[in-house]
Amino acid sequence: MDYEVTSDRLNGHSRGDIIKHADLGDLTTDLLFLVEAGHLSPLKPKKSVKTIDTEQKD
Amino acid sequence: MATSVYLSNPNVTINSVSLQDQCTSATVNYVYEQLETTAFGDTARKYGASTVTSLQNNSIEVELYQSYAGSETEATIFGLVGIQTTIIVAPASGVVGATNPFYTLVGAYLESHTPINASLGELSTITLTFSGGVLTKTTA
């Protein structure tokens, strides 16, 4: 899952960066604490765009 | 000429979060427990030996201004009580190097926190002690 950096305090990252858990290495115990503290916000996966089949009428 | 250290801009990172601008004091204690190896025939007490490796008993103490605003001190610290985390302290905020070593304490345990420590007319501060864990010094 990707996370958006939502504070200016996250080590080595800027507000608005999109990061993964691995980007923080071993420096954090649990990303949930960073989410609860307002430093990260989980990004919801985007839904794929549905295709619409259209049949041409004669 | 002797040199001294004037700490004005140290780097303090707790659980990946930089709290440098809230921190007023940081102390890194690097400790190997002292094991006595004195034996018969010795005329003085001895501690440790090349074949005796004792346990590290490290700790880091920091003093922070308390802040209840979003993403500030309280929000960052409260959830860390009772668990292990990682703390990095460096003399300056620049990049790691021989003259700016990074001291990283991995697996440090925060036993207690004082969410409210307020006196009339004074800025609220908290003192945290992170105990245990393995301390490494990085210079590159």
Q: Could you report the predicted ipTM of this complex, rounded to two decimals?
A: 0.74
Does a structural domain hold residue A58?
no
Residue A54 lies in a domain: no
Cα–Cα distance for residue pair B138/A13, rounded to 1 Å: 20
Least Cα separation, residue A40 to chain B (angstroms)? 9
Chain A residues closer than 8 Å to B86 by CB: 26-29
SS3 B76: helix
Better pLDDT: B2 or B29: B29
Residues of A in contact with B106 (CB under 8 A): 26
Query: Domain locations in chain B?
Result: 11-138
Highest-confidence segment of A15-19, A45-49, B39-43 = B39-43
Residue A56 lies in a domain: no
Question: Which one has a higher pLDDT value, B3 or B96?
Answer: B96
Give residues with Cβ within 8 angstroms of A47, minimum separation 6: none
Confirm whether A48 is domain-assigned: no
Q: Look at residue A52 and tell me if it is in a domain.
A: no
Q: For A37, which of B71, B84, B106 is closest by C-beta distance?
A: B71
Confidence of residue A33 (pLDDT cuts 50, 70, 90): confident
- Tell me yes or no: is domain B11-138 CATH 2.40.30: yes
> Shortest CB distance from B16 goes to which of A8, A27, A38?
A27
Question: How much is the pTM?
Answer: 0.84
Residues of B in contact with A27 (CB under 8 A): 13, 15-16, 86, 88
Counting the structural domains of chain A, the total is: 1
Q: Which domain holds residue A28?
A: 3-40
What pLDDT score does B34 carry? 94
Are A8 and B19 within 8 A, CB to CB? Answer: no
Is residue B127 within a helix (H) or strand (E), and if so which, with residue range? strand B125-131
Burial A8-24 (b: 16+ CB within 10 A, else e): ebbbebeeeeebeeebb
Interchain CB contacts (distance < 8 Å): A and B: 57
Q: Which of A13-22, B11-20, B106-115 has the lowest average pLDDT?
A: A13-22
Which H or E run contains B77? helix B73-77
The tens digit of pLDDT for each residue in B10-19 reads: 999 999 999 9
The predicted model gives A39-49 an average pLDDT of: 81
Contact B62, B23 (CB under 8 A): yes
